[in-house]
Each structure stands twice: as C-alpha cells, then as structure tokens.
Amino acid sequence: MWTIPNQITLFRIILIPVFIIVFYLPISWNHFGAFAIFWIASISDALDGYLARKLNQSSAFGAFIDPVADKLMVAAALIMIAEDFAVWWISVPAMIMIAREIFISGLREFMSSRGKRDIVAVSTLGKYKTAAQMLGIMGLIWQPTYDIPLVLFEFPHELLMFAAYAFYFVATVLTVWTMIIYFKAAWPELKAN
C-alpha cells in the first residue's frame, strides 16, 4: 500500500486543503500560489502513474485512490473558479464537468461489478479532455495580471486568459463527448441488467 506512487497520490490529496487556503489568502499573489500548487498536483498525477508502471508498483489501492485524488482536486478547483468568476459561462461548464465525473465514476463502478470495466477504460479522447481541462483550470485559477509573477514569465495577460478560456471550453465539449462515448459503450450491459 505504501509504494512510492501511492505516497505521491496521497501527497496530492494533502495538497487539496493547502490549495484552497492559498487561493483564499488575502495576499496579492494568492491566485499565482494556488496555480503553482495545482500545477504540482497535475505533475504528480502524471508522475505517480509513470512510476507505478516503471517500478512495477501498480496496486488495487493505487487504482482506487488515484482517480479519487484527481477528481477531488479538479472538483475543488472548479467550484472555486465558478465562485470566483460568478458568471454562468464559467459556472455551467464547471457543473457539467463535475456531474460528468460523478456519472462516469458510477458507470465505471457498475461495469467493474460486471467484470467489464475495460469497456469504459480511459480513452485517448478522455486523455485529451483531461489535458485541456487541466490547462484551462490552471489559467482560470491564476488569472494572470501584471503583477510580479507575470513579469517573471513575460507573457501578455490577454493571450494567457484567451488560452485559458479556450482550453476550458474545449474541455467542456470533450467532457460531454466522452461521456456520451462511454455511455454508449456501456449501454448494452446497462440494458441487459
């Protein structure tokens, strides 16, 4: 249970309250700090999967806790973004993404109970959805302005925000598309039961 990949995953769960606290701190760099924590969590997600395969340390606990850690961090970020922007065109996609994660988790649990989890395994399109979602969320968390962190990176504010919105809306489209694909793949089993 206490393999290196699982420890990294648990570290990602521990980062969630830190991420939330930093986001709401009354300091000028709170959004950049929250962005940095979310970025570390995103990198750790890729790292734990890589190490599990490389070190041959895949486990049932890891297969359970890794997606839980991902969904907790993403749901927390989406709720915070929706509250922070307080506009429907950010909030509605956030609700769609959270609802999709709950729906797909339930669908995968059902298919797993039937011994057919592979039918709804993560697809390439699902990986694209996750990549777009992470990039969009990171940009919307940061909301780069002309403060010290932006000067360090020397990117124009408008370009970064346009990219964040674009990734966020692409992720929303892919969220719905992949949900339909997974549901269609599982439908014969759902219909039979």
Boundaries of domain holding 171: 4-192
Q: What is the pLDDT of residue 145?
A: 64
**Three-state SS annotation for 91-104:** HHHHHHHHHHHHHH
> Which distant-in-sequence residues (6+ apart) come within 8 Å of 13 by Cβ?
65, 68, 69, 72, 73
Number of domains in the chain: 1
Q: What is the pLDDT of residue 48?
A: 87
Q: What is the pLDDT of residue 27?
A: 86
Cα distance between residue 150 and residue 35, in whole Å: 12
Q: What is the pLDDT of residue 154?
A: 59
Instruction: Read off the pLDDT of residues 168-187 as tens digits, 9 standing for 90 and up.
Output: 999 999 999 999 999 999 99
Asked if the model's pLDDT at residue 73 lies above 70, the reply is yes
SS3 55: coil
Tokens of 104: 């797909």
Q: What is the pLDDT of residue 149?
A: 54
Instruction: Read off the pLDDT of residues 26-45 as tens digits, 9 standing for 90 and up.
Output: 988 899 999 999 999 999 98
Q: What is the pLDDT of residue 21?
A: 97
Instruction: Read off the pLDDT of residues 118-168 as tens digits, 9 standing for 90 and up.
Output: 888 878 898 999 999 999 999 999 987 645 555 555 566 778 889 999 999
CATH code of the domain covering residue 77: 1.20.120.1760
CA triple 17-19-23, angle to 5 deg: 115
SS3 143: coil
